[in-house]
Structure formats: C-alpha cells, structure tokens
Amino acid sequence: MAAARENYFTEWRSYQRQYRELLLAKAETEAEVKSARGFGIEIRQIVVSDLGAVDRCVTCHLGLDDPRMTDAPQPFRTHSGPALAHHEMERFGCTGCHLGQGRATSAREAHGWDAEAFWEHSVLPDPFHQASCGVCHDPEAIGSRGAPVLAEGFGLFRTEGCLGCHKLGGRGGPLGPALDEIGDRGRHSYSFAHIEGDKQVWSWHVEHLVSPETVIPGSKMPEVGLDESGVHGLVTYLLSLRSSNLTERMTPRDRYEQRYQVWHTRPLSGEELYRQFCFACHEEGTETVLHDTLGTIPSVRNHDLLAVVSREFLVESIHDGRPTTFMPAWASAAGGLEDGEIGRIADYLLESRREIRELEFVMSAAPDVANGERIFNAECTDCHALTRDGVEAPWLGDPGFQATYSDALIGHTIQYGREDTLMIPYGVGYDGDLTDAEVSDLVAFIRTMR
Ligand code: HEC
Ligand code: HEC
Ligand code: HEC
Ligand code: HEC
Ligand code: HEC
Ligand code: HEC
C-alpha cells in the first residue's frame, strides 16, 4: 500500500497530471480535447544512440515543441530560441546541449544544481548555455548563427594571451596546465574551499578568472581584467573544450570545414601570434613590464634593444627561450610554433624599430674578472641577482641569455642602458662613469655566472 502511494505521488507523475490539466484548459477543438484526455501518465524518453544518451528530461519538460505553451510555467514551457528548429528533439535529445543526468526522473537528480548532488555534470544555466554548441560546431563559425557568447569567449581567449601560459592543441606556454578537454572535468575534481557562489564548475571558473589567487592561493595566473560579459564568454568557451567523438550524423558542416582548415591553416600574422602567445607577459609598450605575478619582464619593443639586435637574435631567443626563467621556448617541440611563425613574430617586432646601431663595443685583451665582480656587487646587485631568484631584472646566468648575447651586446647594453627602463647607461660618454676596460671586466664576470 505504501509503495503504491509513493508511486502515485512521484514528482514526475504529479507534473504530468498538471500538464494534462493544462492541455485540457488549452484545448479548443474536439481533437485537442480528445488528445488531452488520451495523454498517458508514463515515463517519456529520447534514446540518442549517436551520443550514447537516454534523456528522460521530456518526462517533465512536456511542452517544448507545443507552440501553445509559451506562457506556461516550467517545466511545461515551449522551448525558446531557435535551437530545436535546427536540431530535432528526437535526434539530438537534451543532454547533448544542456548536460545533466538524462536518465534521472527527479528534478534534483536530473539538474544536479543541488550542492550535495552526486553527479559530475549539472545542467548548464544561463548564460553558459552555448558551451555545448562548441563541442559539435566550430566555435568561431557558429558565433553568428546562434552562439555569440561562445564566439566572444573564443576571441578573448586569443587576444587576452591565455596561450602565453596554457597549451591548447599542443601550442602555448608551459606555466599553467594544458586546457584541452578542461570541460570534461566534473565538479568532483575541483576544490570549492574558496568559492563563494554555487559549488558548481561554472562558478569555480568565473571566480578563478576574476581572482586566481583567491581560488588557488599562490597562483601565478594574473587576474583577467574583463567585464562580466567577457568573463562569461571565456567560461563558456572553457566549458566547450570537451572531448568529442562525434558520429558522422552528429557532425555539422562547419566542423568538417574546421578540420579541413587545420591542415590548410590560414597563416596567422606576426601581430596575431604576438597577441596570442607573447602579449600576456610582454604587453605592448617599450617599458619593462612589472608583471602582476611573474615580476620583471623585459620589453621586447624597447628601442635600445631593437636598435642593436638582429633578426637571428630574436628568432633564437624565441625558439629556445630562457630555460631557467619564465620565458618559455616556443620551438615546435616545446611551445608548438613553426619556424615560419617565429620568423613572422621577429619581423613584427622589428617593424617598430626606430634606428639601427652598430655594436661598437670591443672587449679589452685581458679583462679582470675579480674587478668585474667587485663592480657588479657595487652597481648591479640591487636589481640583478647573483642567483636565479632575483625578480627585479633579468637573470644574467640563464643559459639562453648567455647563448644569445655576444660580449659586444652585453658590453653595449651596460654602456648604453635602455631608454624607459631601470637599466640606466653606465658607460663613460653615455651618462655613466665606467670605462671600456671596466665594462670588459663586468662582461667577463657575467660570463662566469652561467
Ligand atoms: C522531475 C521533473 C524534471 C525533470 C526530469 C527535468 N526537469 Fe528541468 N525543470 C523542472 C522544473 C520543475 C523546472 C523549473 C523549476 C526549477 O528551476 O527547478 C525545471 C527547469 C529546468 C531548466 C531551467 C529553466 C529556466 O527557465 O531557467 C532547464 C534548463 C532544465 N530544467 C533542463 C532540464 C534537462 C536538460 C533535463 C534532463 C537532463 C531536465 N531538465 C529534467 C523539472 C524537471
Ligand atoms: C541544440 C541544442 C539544444 C537542444 C538539443 C536542447 N536545448 Fe534546451 N536550450 C538550448 C539553448 C541554447 C537554450 C537557451 C535559449 C535561449 O536563451 O535562447 C535552451 C533553453 C532551454 C530551457 C530553459 C527555458 C527556455 O526555454 O529558455 C529548457 C527548460 C530547455 N532548454 C530544455 C530542453 C530539453 C528538455 C531538451 C531536450 C528535448 C532541450 N532543451 C534540447 C539548447 C538546446
Ligand atoms: C551534438 C552536436 C551538436 C550540438 C551540441 C549543437 N549542434 Fe547545431 N547542428 C549539429 C548538426 C549535426 C547540424 C546539422 C543539422 C542536421 O544534420 O540536421 C547542426 C545544425 C545547426 C544549425 C543549422 C545549420 C547551420 O550550420 O547554420 C545551426 C544554426 C546550429 N546547428 C546552431 C547550434 C547552436 C547555436 C548550438 C548550441 C546551442 C548547437 N548548434 C549545438 C550538431 C550540433
Ligand atoms: C602568466 C601565465 C598565465 C596566463 C597569462 C594565464 N594563465 Fe591560467 N593559469 C596559470 C597557472 C600558473 C595556473 C595554475 C594555477 C591556478 O590554477 O591558478 C593556471 C590555471 C588556469 C586554469 C585552471 C586549470 C586547471 O586545470 O585547474 C584555467 C581554466 C585557466 N588558467 C584559464 C586561463 C585563461 C582563460 C587565461 C586567459 C584569460 C589564462 N588562464 C591566462 C597561468 C596563466
Ligand atoms: C635599477 C635596476 C638595475 C640596475 C642597478 C642594473 N640593471 Fe641591468 N637591467 C635592469 C632591467 C629592468 C633590465 C631589463 C630592461 C628591459 O626592459 O629591457 C636590465 C637589463 C640588463 C641587461 C640585458 C638583459 C636582458 O635580458 O635584457 C644586461 C646585460 C644588464 N641589465 C646588465 C647590468 C649590469 C652589468 C648592471 C650593473 C652595472 C646593471 N645591469 C644594473 C635593471 C637594472
Ligand atoms: C610567461 C611569460 C612570457 C611569455 C608568454 C613570453 N615571454 Fe619572452 N620573456 C619572458 C621573461 C621573464 C624574459 C626575461 C627572462 C630573463 O630573466 O632573462 C623574456 C625575454 C624575452 C626576450 C629577450 C629580451 C631581452 O631583453 O633580451 C625576447 C626576445 C622574448 N622574451 C620574446 C618573446 C616572444 C616573441 C614571446 C611570444 C612568442 C614571448 N617572449 C613570450 C617572459 C615571457
């Protein structure tokens, strides 16, 4: 008796009885009345073999394709937007776009919005609905056809320089974790200890982007300085980074075109590459960057640098990076950039060169290392550390620095300094008081730091 009672009052049955009443109230013709009377109280489901899904959402969401239900209360309302016009319910089901637990027949279990819910992937709320569009469609191409939030996030991910520290498809910097398939991670693999909003994956990402340090104490990730809609776009894009093994029937045309383009990529310009891979650290100016989390980063646009370095110097610096510092190596085996791309970045930087200067500095025949060390300790260690832990100025013992800087380039930099930076000129005749011989001693000492 108890079991039957429980059954009669099950949540979904009660929704279906309410829906039958609604159908009767809305019925205008004899046929509609008949169909309303014939509405059976039963579990309804869509089996989507292409996605391996069994979605019982339609057990409660009963009016999705009924145009009379636009003003009905949930869960009976007509589906809004054009999504179902392009994707027949019977073929696509619900969880392919919404996530959630398709087989569940209670709202709590199906939606997973309850913090205590066991399920990994809760139904995505507004404004993150468009995350799934990017699982099947090309996120860039689908922007103008129903997924503007996703497209905005896709664009920001590139222009905000996220790839300077994160890899995607094997390209990007090594400082943060690779983000391929981050959207697959369920909520049980996140720590919500420092999350103020819902204990949900999307709230974690929103709060992490706004203040990484709050969510992960000690994080080296800088805060993104975007408004709410930009942050929502980025999170939508991050949640769209899911593994997908789409059957042919589930693969839309733009995805085929995108796959084709991977092999026939439109070459990115030097400027686009710089924005994607370098901007987050080096920014745009000619001054040293005082980075929020990484400390001092030299400007790669500084006029006194560009005046004396060659294209080869830039290519080599970018290719191999500076292994003991935050400067990553960008060669294909490391950061994933092709040689041609590295060349285009170098050309792009050289476009802002104001003048070309000959490197005239010549080392003295027998430099005095001990004297160099004495001067270095007196003049340079306020900024340049003797170990790699200094953050006020580049670390001169780095093997990448040592390999790319000739003696003449080090000597010139000490003599001449760098306009707009804390690296002032030290040479006699350039506003400083170190003689050529003393600068030679310094260079000889710097060589012992490697
Ligand atoms: C047991 C009945 C039931 C089932 C099963 C169910 N839902 Fe719901 N759903 C509701 C109810 C009731 C509401 C409105 C109240 C609320 O927000 O909880 C709702 C609300 C929603 C909303 C938000 C609507 C809005 O206006 O913001 C979405 C999206 C949604 N459901 C999707 C799904 C998906 C996807 C499934 C299947 C995985 C599903 N639901 C399964 C009953 C159900
Ligand atoms: C192709 C993707 C797609 C499919 C398939 C899909 N939806 Fe939606 N659904 C959306 C989007 C996008 C929105 C947000 C609508 C908007 O903002 O225009 C939405 C909104 C909703 C809402 C919130 C109320 C509303 O209409 O705004 C509910 C409830 C819902 N869908 C339920 C379902 C159920 C149940 C199914 C399965 C039969 C389903 N949807 C299938 C994409 C989809
Ligand atoms: C499970 C994969 C899948 C998901 C998720 C999905 N689509 Fe689609 N979509 C398709 C397929 C496949 C087609 C091709 C239609 C067909 O074969 O009937 C399509 C067709 C379309 C079309 C019409 C054809 C075109 O390219 O203009 C639009 C628009 C569209 N989808 C937008 C969206 C939007 C917006 C979302 C997210 C709310 C979305 N889709 C989510 C697979 C998907
Ligand atoms: C200067 C380097 C740097 C930049 C630039 C950067 N990140 Fe991060 N990111 C990190 C580091 C380090 C971590 C690991 C520590 C943490 O989670 O905060 C991280 C973690 C993350 C995580 C969590 C990954 C996981 O598996 O837990 C996401 C998501 C993320 N970043 C997204 C972004 C996005 C989106 C951007 C661009 C707006 C961005 N990051 C820019 C360094 C960076
Ligand atoms: C007040 C701080 C400060 C002092 C003191 C200082 N430097 Fe620098 N140095 C910097 C900064 C900052 C840069 C990076 C400038 C830029 O943005 O290009 C730099 C750059 C350099 C470079 C080029 C390294 C590179 O990777 O760009 C060399 C070589 C160098 N300094 C040597 C010296 C020597 C030798 C002394 C002592 C005679 C010295 N510096 C004193 C701040 C300082
Ligand atoms: C995660 C931060 C980060 C990213 C991303 C990054 N760099 Fe750097 N870069 C640095 C740091 C830090 C240094 C200085 C290292 C040191 O202490 O010697 C540096 C040094 C350099 C130098 C040498 C400058 C000099 O004064 O000698 C060049 C050239 C350079 N980077 C180019 C690039 C290019 C081009 C990109 C993009 C493909 C890039 N970097 C991406 C952090 C970064």
Give mean pLDDT, residues 226-234: 97
Q: Look at phi and psi of residue 336 and say left if phi exceeds 0, alpha if psi is from -120 to 50, else beta.
A: left
Query: Residue 145's closest CA among 23, 54, 41, 254?
Result: 254
Q: What are the phi and psi torsion angles at 77 (to 5°)?
A: -70, 150
Contacts by 111-116, CB closer than 8 A, 24 or more apart: 113/198, 113/200, 115/198, 115/199
Report helix angle 148-159 to 270-277, nearest 10.
90
Residue-level pLDDT at 390: 63
Question: Whose CA is closest to atom 6 on ligand 3?
Answer: 133
Average pLDDT score, the chain: 94
Between CA 326 and CA 297 the distance in angstroms is: 9
Range in 57-66, 119-128, 206-215 with the lowest mean pLDDT: 119-128
Q: Which residue has the higher pLDDT, 415 or 245?
A: 415
The label of the residue with tokens 């664009």 reads 155
| pLDDT (mean) for 168-180 | 96
- pLDDT at residue 262, rounded to an integer: 67
Please report, for the chain, the start and end positions of each structural domain, with discontinuous segments joined by +.
Answer: 2-121, 130-248, 270-350, 369-448
Q: Compute the average pLDDT of residues 56-77.
A: 97
Which pLDDT score, from 0 to 100, does residue 281 have? 97
Please name the CATH architecture into which domain 369-448 falls.
Orthogonal Bundle (1.10)
Residues 261-271, mean pLDDT to the nearest whole number:
81
pLDDT at residue 378 tops 60: yes
What pLDDT is stored for residue 1 in this prediction?
A: 42
* Calpha distance 269→316 (Å, rounded): 19
Res. 2: pLDDT tops 60: no
Task: Give the H/E segment covering residue 129.
Answer: none
What is the assigned CATH class of domain 270-350? Answer: mainly alpha
pLDDT in tens, 308-365: 999 999 999 999 999 999 999 999 999 999 999 999 999 999 999 999 999 999 999 9
Q: Indicate the CATH number of 130-248 among 1.10.760.10, 1.10.3720.10, 1.10.645.10, 3.30.70.20.
A: 1.10.760.10
pLDDT single digits (tens) 410-435: 999 999 999 999 999 999 999 999 99
The pTM (predicted TM-score) of the whole model is 0.94
> 381: closest CA among 405, 402, 397?
397
Ligand whose nearest atom lies closest to the CA of 220:
4
Please report the atom of ligand 1 found closest to the CA of residue 12.
Answer: 1
Closest ligand relative to 148 C-alpha: 3
Sequence-distant (≥ 6) Cβ neighbours of residue 12 within 8 angstroms: 43, 59, 60, 105, 106
Distance 380 CA to ligand 6 centre (A): 21
Contact 288, 383 (CB under 8 A): no
Identical topology for domains 130-248 and 270-350: yes
